[in-house]
């Protein structure tokens, strides 16, 4: 669907001057709204065609996408992709291939849909130190949490509706367990701080255990629950996490609802900058891909200027956070797991504990009790 939208824009736009030479497809029997001679099921026809200088990769198979992008860059072609998992897994190698063979590798659509966050970081914060970057980078989870709050329905019911409306996949694991957000955050780490961090090193807790009890607790305390991706840095260390978070109603991110994404960039010179927009879907993704195509026509490349500074930053995987853990009775959470406990509640159907805890200790608790609901205080 994204590919069809891009094709239509290229046929009608007065601003973009490009020719679609060939389109590689998986299902040759599917009817498509373009001339039949454009289509092939053989990717090598595109990779070996010297008249094709740009490959736009839009498939959902990360491993196949990697081989397409790698082979295209090796052939000296430029590549535009929206595949965040593929980019997160292979970013370092693909950057090296870009430099070695002379193509250009752009992937704005892989992170926050229509929000130009990579280009903003690359162009506008090139000479400014970023103290913190945090926000909502997954539209599916934000839709679910928004609907749970607005309609007071269960996680399961809202997820089912999200799947019916196309806001969540039939297998929603990558979204609701925070994997999608961790892929995106590892990409943002490079552009914000100049360091490449494997997504598996980032502390990740998704929304799969959030209950109606938790939503009610948040409302009672003037907050909304959002899945927040966060990068925090000092002069020598950098930390990243994906954790459901109590966001006060007075915070701008509290009002980023449904499938919208929102990013706040806190820098040394410009204070806080807020970016909000559609984070996923056919048209937002098409918008981001076409912007990359426009940038490519202007010979734009990511600068990666912060990589040298990033060599002096140490990635810190552990941190003390103030959080709320809720659970069904009976689960005995050991007090010794916490640095300190500020509140406890035991109810008939659900209980909670609030306190300070190291993420390493929280990881151990989650291995023992994976159904714990974890929400950080912002």
Catalytic residues: 184
**CA dihedral of 216, 279, 231, 170, whole degrees rounded to 10:** 70
DSSP letters along 103-115, please?
A: --EE-GGGTSTT-
SS3 321: strand
Half-sphere exposure of 64 (CA within 13 A, CB side): 11
Helix (H) or strand (E) holding 289: helix 282-297
Burial string for 109-139 (b: 16+ CB within 10 Å, else e) reads: bbbbbbbbbbbbbbeebeeeebbebbbbbbb
* DSSP secondary structure code for residue 313 in this structure: P
Sign, CA dihedral 223-225-231-233, equals positive
Q: Which tokens is 8 given?
A: 């239509």
Residue 218 to residue 241: CA distance in whole angstroms: 21
Residue 261 to residue 163: CA distance in whole angstroms: 18
SS3 348: coil
Specify whether the CB–CB gap between 39 and 23 falls below 8 A: yes
∠ CA 17-97-242, rounded to 5°: 90
Residue 91 to residue 262: CA distance in whole angstroms: 24
Burial string for 36-75 (b: 16+ CB within 10 Å, else e) reads: eeeeeeebeebbeeeebbbbbbbbeebeebbebbbbbbeb
Q: Which tokens is 92 given?
A: 């370092």
Helix (H) or strand (E) holding 97: helix 84-101
């Amino acid at each position: 669907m994204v590919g069809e939208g891009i094709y239509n824009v290229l046929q009608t736009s007065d601003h973009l001057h490009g020719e679609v030479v060939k389109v590689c497809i998986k299902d040759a029997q599917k009817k498509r709204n373009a001339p039949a001679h454009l289509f092939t099921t053989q990717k090598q026809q595109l990779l070996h065609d010297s008249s094709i200088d740009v490959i736009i990769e839009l498939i959902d198979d990360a491993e196949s996408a990697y081989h397409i992008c790698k082979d295209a860059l090796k052939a000296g072609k430029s590549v535009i992709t929206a595949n965040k998992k593929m980019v997160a897994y292979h970013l370092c190698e693909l950057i090296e291939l870009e430099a070695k063979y002379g193509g250009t590798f752009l992937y704005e659509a892989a992170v926050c849909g229509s929000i130009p966050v990579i280009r903003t970081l690359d162009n506008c914060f090139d000479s400014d130190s970023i103290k913190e970057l945090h926000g909502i980078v997954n539209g599916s989870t934000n839709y679910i949490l928004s609907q749970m709050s607005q309609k007071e329905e269960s996680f399961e019911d809202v997820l089912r509706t999200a799947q019916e409306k196309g806001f969540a996949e039939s297998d929603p694991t990558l979204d609701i367990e925070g994997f999608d957000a961790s892929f995106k955050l590892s990409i943002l780490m490079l552009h914000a701080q100049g360091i490449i961090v494997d997504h598996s090193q980032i502390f990740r807790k998704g929304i799969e255990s959030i209950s109606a009890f938790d939503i009610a607790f948040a409302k009672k305390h003037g907050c909304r629950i959002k899945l927040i991706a966060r990068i925090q840095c000092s002069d020598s260390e950098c930390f990243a996490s994906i954790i459901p978070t109590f966001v006060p109603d007075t915070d701008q991110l509290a009002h980023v609802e449904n499938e919208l994404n929102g990013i706040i960039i806190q820098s040394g010179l410009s204070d806080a900058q807020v970016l909000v927009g559609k984070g996923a879907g056919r048209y937002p993704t098409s918008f981001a891909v076409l912007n990359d195509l426009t940038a490519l026509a202007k010979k734009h490349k990511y600068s990666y200027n912060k990589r040298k500074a990033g060599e002096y930053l140490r990635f810190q995987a552990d941190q003390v956070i103030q959080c709320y853990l809720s659970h069904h009775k009976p689960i005995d959470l050991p007090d010794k797991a916490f640095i300190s406990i500020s509140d406890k509640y035991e109810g008939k159907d659900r209980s909670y504990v609030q306190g300070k805890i190291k993420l390493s200790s929280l990881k151990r608790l989650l291995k023992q009790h994976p159904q714990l609901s974890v929400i950080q205080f912002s």
